[in-house]
Amino acid sequence: MTWTSLKSRLAGAGYVASDDLAVALQLALTLGRPLLLEGAAGVGKTEIARTLSMIEDTRLIRLQCYEGLDASQAIYEWNYQRQLLSIRAAAESGETGKAVEDRIFSRSFLLERPLLAAITQAKAPVLLIDEIDRADEEFEAFLLEILSDFQVSIPELGTISAVTRPIVILTSNGTRDLSDALRRRCLYTYVEYPDRTTELAILKARCPEVEARLANQIVGFVQKLREEELEKTPGVAEMLDFAAALMGLGIADLTDDPAVLHSTLTTLLKTRTDQAQITREVASRLAGKAA
Amino acid sequence: MSRVTKFAARDPGPAARVAGFIAHLRQNGLRLGVAEAELAMAALVEVDASRPEDCRRALQAVCTGCKEEAERFGDLFNSYWMDMGRVRQKVIPALSQKSNEDVHSTRDAKGQDLGTAGRATAPDDKGDEAESEGTGRLIATKQRNFKRRDLRDLVRPEEIAEAQEIARRLGAALRDRRSRRRVAAQRGDRLHFRKIIRQSLSTGGEPLRLFRKRRPDRPRKIAALCDVSGSMTVYSKVFLAFLAGLMRADTAADAYLFHTRLVRITEALRDKDAMRAIGRMSLMADGFGGGSKIGPSLQRFANTYAKRFVDGRSVVLILSDGYDTEAAEVLSDALAKIRKRGCKIIWLNPLKGWTDYAPVAAGMAMALPYLDLFKAANTLGDLATLEQEFAAL
C-alpha cells in the first residue's frame, strides 16, 4: 500500500489528510513506529486515530493523559474488591493460603487499563495517547519503556509480552516541551490548520449537503477569521459546527442577514473577548471579503 | 530533476549518501543518532525514491522532532540533495571548520551564500512573513542592520560558566515555592487518612491500600526576553551570557530575543556545546543591534508564545532599556495582556544604574504600573545581587 492509496482510503472515510501527514502515517504503519502529532487544538489530531481504526477495521483504545496520571490508571490494577471477597469466601470454605494466593493474583483479578489492553488484543488495535504533554515527565518515562519493548512486567504474574503490536498515535498541544528521548522514538508531523482547498474538501466530505457556493463562503469566512487576532483560533471542528448551524437555520448566503450570521458565531468564538472583538460589523465585513 | 545533486563517480552508494545527509543534519544542530540513520534508510525503502517530494516527506517524518526543526527541514533537504540547479537556500552553517568526509557532493553542502542576505532575509511578501515567525528567519525592516554580528565575539565561555551559576541561584530563588497544603502523592511523607478511610469502604472497611500525601513543589517557570537592539549593544554581552547560563541551569526556562522582531531561542540555547549554542543564536538574531520595537515584540509574545508557556506560575523577565520606536500604548497594552495571565513581570533595565536616571522614556513610564520588580542590572555582579529581591517576590 502506498501513501497515496492510504490517503484516498482516509478520504473515503471522511478524513482529508495533507500529503506530509499521509506519508508519515504510512511510514508509521509499515515501520511499526509510534507517530507523534503536534499542532494547535482542533486541527484533527485525535480524529486521524479514529479514522484509522475505522479503515483498518480495528479497535480504538484511547488513553487521555492528565496531570497526575499514573501506572494504575494507564497500565493495570488489581481488582482489590474481588480479591477481598475471594479471601473471605476462601476462609469460610477452609481453603489453604497458598491456593488462595495463586488464585487472587491470576489474570481474572487483573483490571486491564488502556496500555495493557492495547498489547493483548488479538488484532492490532489503534492506541491513541491523547495530549501526552499534559502527563508528567514520570509517566513519559514509563511510556517509553512500553513503546520500545511492547511488554509489561507485573511482579505477581510475570511479564506480559505483546500479542500484536498496536498502531500507536500520540498527540500533543505543545503546552510543554516533550523529552528528546520520546521524540526520538517517534515519527513526527506538525499538523497545520488546513489551507482553503483542503478545508473545502473536509467540509464536502463531512457535510455533503452544503451547496458549493455556501461551502466556499463558510471556508473563506473561517480562514479570514483565523487571520484575526483571537485568543482561541477556531479549528476544523468549529468550522463544521458553524456549517451545521447555518444549515439548521436554513441560511443560503452568509452576506444575507448580518444579525443571524452574528448569532451563529457562538459556534466559532469561544471566549468573551473574542466575541466582543468580532462585532456584527466585523463579521459582515469578513463575510463580504470571503464571498 | 535537473536540480538534483550529482554525486562523484566513486561514490559508494545510496547508503553512504543517506549517512552523509544525516551527518549534514547533525552539523546543523538536529540531534540524530545511528538509530535514526537506520530508520531513515528503512523509510526510504517504503517510498518511491524517484520522487523527491515523497523522499523529503519520509525523511522529515523520521528526522525532525519539533515544529522548529520541521520548518527548517525543507531548506536543509534542498541544500544537500538539490543544489545543482543553483537553488540558493540559506542554511545554518556547519560550525566545525573541518571538511566532512561523509559528504560526497560536488559542491559544499554548507551552501555558498552564508555572508549575504539570502532569500530568508530579503524583504518578502506578507504571507511568508507570518509563516516564518519565530524560526529565526527574520524579515527586513527599515531600521534593519545589514551587518551580521557574531555573538561569539561578544561572549566568552568562562562568562557563560559564571552566568550559569548566577542564573542557577536566581532561578532557585524564584522557583522554590513550596505549598503549605498537602496533596495526595504516591511517595508522600505522611499518610493521607481521609483518603485511606474513604477508600477502605470499598474493601469492606479494611484499609488495604495506604495513600500518602506531601507538600507539592510549585515550580515557577522563567521566560526571559532580551532586547538586542542598537541601544542595548553595550549590555548585550552580559545579558546573552546570562540567558545562555539560565537555559543551561534551568531546563524549564524559555528564552527569546527581540529587536524589531521576536525570536524564540530556547531550542538553540539548549545545545550541549555552550559556544555552539551562542553561534546558533547569532544566526537567528539577524538584525542584531538594529532598531527596537519593544511594544510590538511583546505584543507578539503575548499573542503567541505566552498563551502556551506563561501561566500563573511563570515569571516573565524582560531585559531592556525601554527605548522604543513605537507608541508607548502598544507596550503597556502588551504588558497588561501578559499580566492578565497571572504571571510576575520583572524588568531589568541597565540604565537604571545611572545616578540621575528617571524612567522618562515614554514606553518605560507607561510600563511601570505593570511591573512587579523594576531593577538595575548591567553586569553579572549586579544580577547576582538580585537574588534577595527575587526571593521576596
Average pLDDT, chain B: 74
Residue A53: the pLDDT is 93
* DSSP code at position B105: B
Over the stretch A57-67, which tens digit does the pLDDT of each residue have?
999 999 999 88
Residue A34, classified by CB atoms within 10 Å of its CB into exposed (0-12), middle (13-18) or buried (19+), is buried
Q: How many domains does chain A have?
A: 2
User: Which is nearest to A230 in space by CA: A185, A270, A289, A266?
Assistant: A270
Tell me the pLDDT band of B132, cut-offs 50, 70 and 90: very low
Query: Does residue A93 fall inside a structural domain?
Result: no
Tell me the pLDDT band of B122, cut-offs 50, 70 and 90: very low
- Rounded to the nearest 10 degrees, what angle do helices B14-27 and B34-46 cross at? 130
B218 touches chain A (CB under 8 A): no
Q: Is A259 found in the same domain as A200?
A: yes
Average pLDDT, chain A: 88
Domains in chain B (CATH in brackets) are 14-114 (no CATH), 151-172+218-392 (3.40.50.410), 180-214 (no CATH)
Residue B47: the pLDDT is 85
Residue B154: the pLDDT is 59
Query: Does residue A85 fall inside a structural domain?
Result: no
pLDDT above 90: residue A128: yes
Q: Is A60 found in the same domain as A124?
A: yes
Over the stretch B145-204, which tens digit does the pLDDT of each residue have?
434 445 556 567 777 777 778 877 877 777 666 677 888 888 888 899 999 999 888 887
Q: Could you tell me which chain B residue has the CA closest to the CA of A172?
A: B66
Tell me the pLDDT band of B143, cut-offs 50, 70 and 90: very low
- Check residues B146 and A241 and name the one with the higher pLDDT: A241
Q: Is A70 found in the same domain as A141?
A: yes
pLDDT above 80: residue A175: no
pLDDT above 90: residue A36: yes
Residue B113: the pLDDT is 39
Provide residues of A within 8 Å CB-CB of chain B. Answer: 2-3, 19-20, 23-24, 26-28, 30-31, 33, 35-36, 38, 70, 80-81, 84, 88, 174-175, 177, 180, 183-184, 186-190, 229, 231
Bridge partners for A187 per DSSP: A35
Query: Does residue A101 fall inside a structural domain?
Result: no
Residue A290: the pLDDT is 76
**Do the bridges between strand A110-112 and strand A76-78 make them parallel or antiparallel, or are there none, so unpaired?**
antiparallel
CA dihedral over A146, A149, A150, A155, signed as positive or negative: negative
Last-in-domain residue among A155, A190, A225: A190
Q: Kindly list the residues from chain A whose CB atom is less than 8 angstroms away from the CB atom of residue B307.
A: 231
Residue A147: the pLDDT is 83
pLDDT above 80: residue A193: yes
**Do the bridges between strand B314-319 and strand B262-264 make them parallel or antiparallel, or are there none, so unpaired?**
unpaired
Q: What is the CATH number of the domain that holds A186?
A: 3.40.50.300
Domain hosting A131: range is 3-75+113-190
B153 touches chain A (CB under 8 A): no
Residue A49: the pLDDT is 93
Q: Is A55 found in the same domain as A131?
A: yes
Query: Does residue A251 fall inside a structural domain?
Result: yes
B43 and A38 within 8 Å at the Cβ level: the answer is no
Q: Is A283 found in the same domain as A141?
A: no
Least confident of A30-39, A252-261, B271-280: B271-280
Query: Does residue A99 fall inside a structural domain?
Result: no
* DSSP code at position A108: G
Query: Does residue A89 fall inside a structural domain?
Result: no
Residue B106: the pLDDT is 39
Q: Which of A81, A175, A186 sits opposite B203 (nearest CB)?
A: A81
Query: The complex's ipTM?
Result: 0.81
* DSSP code at position B393: -
Q: Is A131 found in the same domain as A269?
A: no
Distance between alpha carbon B96 and the CA centroid of its chain, in Å? Answer: 22
Q: Is A120 found in the same domain as A60?
A: yes
Query: Does residue A106 fall inside a structural domain?
Result: no
Q: Which of B58, B67, B186 sits opposite A27 (nearest CB)?
A: B58
Percent of chain B with pLDDT over 90: 4
Q: Could you tell me which chain B residue has the CA closest to the CA of A190?
A: B67
Query: Does residue A184 fall inside a structural domain?
Result: yes
Residue A171: the pLDDT is 93
Residue B103: the pLDDT is 39
Nine cell digits for residue A27: 511510514
Q: Is A278 found in the same domain as A248?
A: yes
Residue B365: the pLDDT is 83
Contact A205, A11 (CB under 8 A): yes
Q: Give the mean pLDDT of B43-51.
A: 84
Last-in-domain residue among A128, A155, A190: A190
Q: State the CB neighbour count (10 A cutoff) for residue A126.
A: 22
Q: Is A211 found in the same domain as A118?
A: no
Q: Is A119 found in the same domain as A23?
A: yes
Q: Is A131 found in the same domain as A60?
A: yes
Last-in-domain residue among A190, A215, A249: A190
Q: Is A235 found in the same domain as A201?
A: yes
Most confident of B37-41, B217-221, B269-273, B287-291: B37-41
DSSP conformation letters of B237-258: HHHHHHHHHHHHH-TT-EEEEE
Contact B266, B247 (CB under 8 A): yes
Q: Is the pTM of this model over 0.80?
A: no
Tell me the pLDDT band of B388, cut-offs 50, 70 and 90: confident
- Check residues A122 and B68 and name the one with the higher pLDDT: A122
